[in-house]
Chains A and B, each alone.
Chain A
């Protein structure tokens, strides 16, 4: 039986600027993401990951192409239809948490529930469940300004889950957290996928979750590749010594039957000028 994609894109493009200054943040991306998948989107800084996430979350209109969410073409919808889609089908988790300081933890979690038919009262039970699940019961009456980073992100996760969305979009959810808290959040998101059957699409630089993610997408120069962690091939740039993924590297050369990958054009240029210097240094290091 063919499974239907929860989110699907067709030739999705997003450009900024015009003429010579035009930047293709997302360039003809075709994507299919299925139910209960934990999908990571990774790539260099400024590669368009947040732009892609914004389009999937209907926060940004594509320049061209289509986006489907639960078979609804969200890219063709007007501004008056999209808030409803976001309220019912999408949950957001932000790097900066974006909690409302004037509200308590419980009120922050219940805020999106006010947009649905069940309302705040109808969501009370689910809120209790999420508070317990995310170990926030003892902090339900606290204000966000009194919470730690980890607690804030857990509140944000609970808020994203209150309406039982189809998909959660998380932008660098561990970016403002220390190693331990970050780890904790990652595992929560992993468990959500497993237990709630929710799809989680996460933009991250954090390698730790690669092993538990179902899919790894690499976005660079506007193009997206599906990648598995076992395809990583870490080598060192012979000039500067930086770790480079040979599989993904664009700057490579061959010298005396050996393949070398570089972090930048500059390092390649230096190598090409005096290769024996760097090969000797590498051999010396071995």
Chain B
């Protein structure tokens, strides 16, 4: 009866019901967006490392990160690694942090220099690099600087032409760009401003492909054993290290923001339920007069709160998707994963807890209602 009454009440005052749903959905969407923001940062880091196409990634000994680290491998390390049993090919990769300066705006960019493996996988516009002096840039750079395929892109004083615009190639709040080794060497030799080549990391990592039938972990172990100057990692492990480090850096900040969002959710649900109860004070006094005790009334209030919150979840999901889309369109360097099943489930549980907490204020009003009010006009 209580459930039926609750649902009928929503149906009877549809406008109010919709407004309540929108308000609750908006705050839950905020939680989803912030959680999605956090998840997106970690996912970007994971993706940029694991999508390089390698079975094993070799770094300088002592370096256990890829994005934020400076790794310098000896020039002969490629040859050494390729001599290890199980290794099919070792592909060189260099990562260079640079500051791109254009139209009076500076943006840090991670440049990935690749040869036979490790280039951009998802090209949204244009194509991959096929000629010299070509570069592929991340979509966020294209949006910030309003660049298109075919436009010029100057790094140091070296002129590249944009061959393609890639997607999902940003991490740590910075976009990535891709060039080839030939162009890196040309840049160093032709540029008027780049420092001495001997001080620059020409080889940061090796992307190792293994032969069929070999275990990546076993081959990585052999590489480390036989070449003490290097460390060998499974891409997932290296990615996890970078994710862990970013968690250290950003974890507390995100946690605080999410806590603020949680508090807002509880407050909004409290406010909505309180307002709903205030609107029905006379009706509730009649219920009390009829013999509904505190427990039944409390159950009704809690049920109404839970139902409202549950019904708002799909709308919250839509709002979150829209917000995420807006953020990713305006600032494509960010990835907001607001609709992952695990996150939705976690938010569902959190939302139900918010609902219970939000019902507390209203319960106080209900418990203190005077049933004698039933004799007065509404």
Contact = CB atoms under 8 A, between A and B. Distances in A.
A171 B375 contact: yes
A92 interface: yes
Interface string B290-320: 1111101000000000000000000000000
A30 interface: no
Interface residues on B, range: 20 to 34
B290 A111 contact: yes
Interface residues of A, number: 34
B199 interface: no
Contacts of B372: 54, 59-60
B1 interface: yes
Contacts of A59: 288-289, 370-372, 374-375
B290 A87 contact: yes
A256 interface: no
Contact of B291 (A83, A94, A96, A120): A83
Given A102-B5, A120-B1, A94 B293 contact: no
B12 interface: yes
B9 interface: yes
Interface string B339-378: 0000000000000000000000000000000111011011
A93 B294 CA distance: 22
A98 B1 contact: no
A86 B289 contact: yes
A80 B290 contact: no
B258 interface: no
A80 B293 contact: yes
Nearest to B290: A112
Interface string A98-141: 10111100010011101100001000000000000000000000
A150 B2 CA distance: 27
Given A101-B12, A102-B9, A102-B12, A92 B290 contact: yes
Contacts of B371: 59
Nearest to B373: A59
A57 interface: yes
B277 to A, nearest CB: 15
A112 B8 contact: no
Contacts of B282: 98
Interface in A126-172: 143, 159, 171
A103 B286 CA distance: 14
A50 interface: yes
A116 B368 CA distance: 24
B281 to A, nearest CB: 12
A53 interface: yes
Given A54-B375, A84-B291, A98 B286 contact: yes
A73 to B, nearest CB: 18
Nearest to A81: B293
A90 B292 CA distance: 13
Interface string B1-28: 1101100110110000000000000000
Nearest to A110: B1
B290 A115 contact: yes
Interface of B: 1-2, 4-5, 8-9, 11-12, 282-283, 286, 288-294, 296, 370-372, 374-375, 377-378
14 contacts: A57-B289, A59-B289, A83-B296, A86-B289, A86-B291, A92-B289, A94-B374, A95-B375, A96-B377, A102-B8, A107-B8, A112-B290, A115-B292, A159-B290
